[in-house]
Structure 1
Amino acid sequence: MNVKMTVTLPDHVLHYAERLVEEGRYPSIDSVLAASLEDMMQSHENDPLTGMADELHRRMALPRDQWIAMDEDDLFDRVRERLAARSRG
C-alpha cells in the first residue's frame, strides 16, 4: 500500500534528487526517496553495532537476578555453567 504525503526537502537535496531523475537513474523523485529509505533500512539491519546495541538493551531489560555479576573471581565458571545448563535444557 502506498501513502501519499507532503515532504519538505532542503534545496540541495531536492536538486540532487531531480538530477538523478533527469539522468534516468530513477523514474521519479518519489522513487529516489523510497530507494534512499530502503537503503537506510538495509544498512541499519545489517549494522553489527546496531545489533550489539539492541542486544545490550535487551539484556539491560532483564530482571536484576538474571544479570551476571562482574565482581567475583568465578565469573567465567558461572558463565560456563549457565551455557551448559542451556544446552542441556
Structure 2
Amino acid sequence: MNIKTTVSLPDHVLHYAERLVEEGRYPSLDSVLAASIEDMMRSHESVADDPLAGMTDELHRRMALPRDQWIAMDEDDLFDRVRERLAARSRG
C-alpha cells in the first residue's frame, strides 16, 4: 500500500535525485526516495546483526575516554598486565 506524503528536500539533494531519474536509473523521484530509505533500513539491520559493528562502536567509545584511562602501549609490561587481567577473570 502506498501512502501519499509531502517532503521537503535541500536543493542539491533534489537536483541529484532528478538527475538519477533523467539518466534512467530510476523511473521516478518516488522510487529514488523509496530505494534510498530501503538501503538505509538494510544498512541499519545489518549493523545490528554484525558483531564487527559492535566492536567498532566499542572502539569508538573507548577512544572517547580521557587519555589517562587508556592502556599505555609503550610500557614493556603491557602484555604481562593483560595476561594478569585475563587470569584474574578466569579465576574469579
Q: TM-score, normalised by structure 2?
A: 0.51
Distance 2:91 2:67 in 1: 23
Task: Tell me the residue number matched to 2:35.
Answer: 32
Number of the residue aligned with 2:9: 7
1:59 aligned to which of 57, 62, 76:
62
Matched, 1:85 2:88: yes
CA distance in 1, matches of 2:82, 2:61: 18
Instruction: Please tell me whether the aligned partners of residues 21 and 29 of structure 1 are also in contact (alpha carbons under 8 angstroms).
Output: yes
How many aligned positions are there?
82
Tell me the secondary structure at the aligned position of residue 28 of structure 1: helix
Match of 2:72, SS state, is coil
The change in CA–CA distance for 1:15 and 1:70 in structure 2 (over 3 A counts) is closer
1:71 maps onto 2:82 in alignment: no
Q: 1:62 to 1:4 in 2, by over 3 A?
A: farther
Which structure carries more relative contact order (alpha carbon 8 Å, separation 6+)?
A: 1
The answer for unaligned runs of 5 or more in structure 2 is: none
